[in-house]
Amino acid sequence: MLSTLSLPLFLFTLHATAQSTTPTSTTTAPLPTLSPGWFFIRAVEEPNYHSYLQSAPTATPGLAVLDANTGAGQFNIISGQLVYHLSGNGSLYMNVENPSDKTQRKLTTSFNATENAYGEFAFQGDTVTWSVEDIDRPNTGAWLVCEDQQLFINTGSYGYETPEGCADETIHSYGGSTPDV
């Protein structure tokens, strides 16, 4: 049996939960659909789990970033080049900084209309690797994601002495029809 003090509170709670709410709509960009012969490339570790490779701004020459799936680029490695497929508009190539200091920990990556002249990309299974003769890398599949989601080559050991503000990552090809996983 409800006490007289509890009854008004019970009725108020019942009334409050019965009120309808107006649904809000959110608009999301459509996800890209994978073209035959190309792959999405994404990170598989936190904090960038399933962030996808793209340029900033998307699909134009610029810095390489790992970001939301709505801007996911489509890629393949052809003759040592990491090629960014632009539907109907040609290709971009991931370029890697050639530093004067070969002990530098982070190498900048970007997408340009010209082929990369420094090092070669390859798949090792589904892992994207990069190697060059004049830098001895402990793990050719080690990458760094730093400020503003920018992607760098990690010339050091994966998970060891990670530069402040960066996260160690490996990046992998993904052949699903859309980047929704």
Going from N- to C-terminal start, the domains of the chain cover 34-174
- In tens, the pLDDT along 144-177 reads 999 999 999 999 999 999 999 999 999 999 999 9
Taking the CA atoms of the chain, what radius of gyration do you get in angstroms? Answer: 23
Structure tokens at 81: 């080049």
Burial 142-176 (b: 16+ CB within 10 A, else e): bbbbbeebbbbbbbbebeeebeeebbbbbbbbbee
When pLDDT is averaged across residues 86-115 and rounded to a whole number, the result is 95
- pLDDT reading at 88 higher than 50: yes
More confident residue, 165 or 16: 165
Closest CA to 154 of 141, 165, 164: 141
**For 168, phi and psi rounded to 5 degrees?**
-70, 140
CATH class of 34-174: mainly beta
The pLDDT, as a whole number, for residue 89 is 73
- Angstrom distances, CA of residue 76 to CA of 28, 34, 84, 95: 27, 12, 7, 14
Q: Report which DSSP code applies to 141.
A: T
Write the CB contacts of 164 (distance below 8 Å, at least 6 apart in sequence). none
